[in-house]
Structure 1
Amino acid sequence: MYGAGGFGKEVMDVARRQNAVTKRWEQICFVDDIRTERTHYGADVYRFDALEVQQHLDEAEFVIALGEPAAREKLGEKLREANARLGRVVDTSSLVVESATLGEGAVITPLCSISSDARLGRHACVNTMSIVGHDVQVGDHTVISSMVNIGGACVIGANSYLGMGALIKEGVRIGSNSIIGMGSVVYGDIPDDVIALGNPARVARPNNDRKVFK
């Protein structure tokens, strides 16, 4: 679990529930390059460059547990350069149909629905009670916050963030590196590199600093 903050605890809970059923992992721990404690939320904490991590890169599986798409992209590149293996964390309460495709490093939290032929990119994240409709494409590192509903055949670019409760009309395209504000209703396409919000959602300003949580 790369990241031991608030979202890291949520993903840890999901991984523990998943592991109780699948018995896939012998140990679940945090990797965090900032936190100084050696234990947190009932799990060991290691720095990425620690021997305990580096000597197990060929057998451990990593998922990124940060909520910022730009941070997910940065850590994803770090893991790629280290040739680290990626896992997938999927809550046992979520419905992921057989025809859906989850990229490496994907995280699906409780009570989500991933529908027919939906495709999630590497390190994509879908948060609690969100719906990803049929034939939706979600780009790498993109974060879908809680209670978002994405209509069928939408395309969501890489490194984007859909805020809590956003509604996305079927067939809409949302660009890369963009943020959709919470509660927004998106009826039309949204370009790359912008922040859009409202009902109907309109571009408010450029997404220059790529920060969601400020």
Structure 2
Amino acid sequence: MTTLFFSEYEETEPGVPLVIFGAGGLGREVLLLIQQLNAVHPSWDVRGFYDDQAPATPTVAGLPYLGSSADLNATSEPLAVAVAVGSPVGRAAVVSRLTSSQLSFPVLVHPAVALGSQQRITLGQGSIVQQGCLLTCDITLGRFVLLNLGCTVGHDAVLEDFASLMPHANVSGGAHLGAGCYLGTNATVIQGVRIGENTILGAGAVAVRDLPANITAVGVPAKSIKKVNA
């Protein structure tokens, strides 16, 4: 785990080559995030998109489609990679395929999101924090965590590797999300509640008590409706 503070983003050398894995809608949103970062401090030279499913057109948002994960692994130069895959399972599968030692996975945080040393926030490699997110203090985000637009994370919360929060999801203080958890749009985890690994909390659902691993839960209060294949 790497602890990063907002001021450290200004230390990135300009023109670092970066590619986005994921040529869909989230990939275009991550491109916008990188462009917003570059507008504050030019750091990233975005080369284009990779995806194991080729897009319908040779370009995405004005940038070229460059190939599959196998093509990316064959790179002869160091490349930073932003993995723009919304599903925790899908994102973990992509990361497992990107094995070249030339590849690195930077933390990307929107420039308007407060991230200072006084907040004591730990972020793992490859994590992405989008515009409008609010993180308070003493928070731990694991590797390749995704916070989509407008999410909130309270004090002492822990989000393990590959957790995904969709727009306006809320994690209250002291909550703990296991690896690969997925919170749908406007889902909420109440203070101190633990969510087991790979569990899906549906859009608008509110978890008021602990939920086990490998289920889908919906409603207010959230209740299990089915098992998820681990």
Name the residue aligned to 2:89.
Answer: 70
Spell out, residue by residue over 1:25-47, the C-alpha distance to the aligned partner (whole angstroms, 9 max, x if none).
Answer: 12342112221543210112211
Q: Distance in 1 between matches of 2:157 and 2:133?
A: 14
Picking from 92, 104, 107, the partner of 1:85 is: 104
Conserved 8 A contact 1:94-1:112:
yes
Spell out, residue by residue over 1:40-84, the C-alpha distance to the aligned partner (whole angstroms, 9 max, x if none).
Answer: 10112211333796112xx211121011111001011122x3232
Spell out, residue by residue over 1:66-119, the C-alpha distance to the aligned partner (whole angstroms, 9 max, x if none).
Answer: 11111001011122x323211122112222343111110001111001221111
For residues 70-149 of structure 1, the aligned pairs below 5 Å read 70-79=89-98, 81-83=99-101, 84-98=103-117, 99-149=120-170
Give the unaligned 5+ runs of structure 1.
none
Picking from 206, 220, 227, the partner of 1:185 is: 206
Name the residue aligned to 1:54.
Answer: 75
Q: CA RMSD in A?
A: 1.7
Name the residue aligned to 1:158.
Answer: 179
Conserved 8 A contact 2:34-2:44:
no
The residue type equivalent to 1:206 in the other structure is K
Conserved 8 A contact 1:46-1:52:
no
Identity of aligned residues (%): 31
The residue type equivalent to 1:70 in the other structure is V
State which drifts further: 148-157 or 33-42.
33-42
Conserved 8 A contact 2:74-2:100:
no
State the secondary structure of the residue aligned to 1:49: helix
Q: Distance in 2 between matches of 1:93 and 1:179?
A: 29
1:15 CA displacement: 1.0
Spell out, residue by residue over 1:113-147, the C-alpha distance to the aligned partner (whole angstroms, 9 max, x if none).
Answer: 12211111111000111101111111111110111
Name the residue aligned to 1:8.
Answer: 27
Q: Distance in 2 between matches of 1:184 and 1:97?
A: 31
The residue type equivalent to 1:82 in the other structure is S
The residue type equivalent to 2:184 in the other structure is G
Conserved 8 A contact 1:30-1:45:
yes
Name the residue aligned to 1:43.
Answer: 63
Q: Distance in 2 between matches of 1:53 and 1:110?
A: 33
Conserved 8 A contact 2:73-2:100:
no
Give the unaligned 5+ runs of structure 2.
1-19
The residue type equivalent to 2:58 in the other structure is R
1:17 CA displacement: 0.6
The residue type equivalent to 1:43 in the other structure is L
State the secondary structure of the residue aligned to 1:27: strand
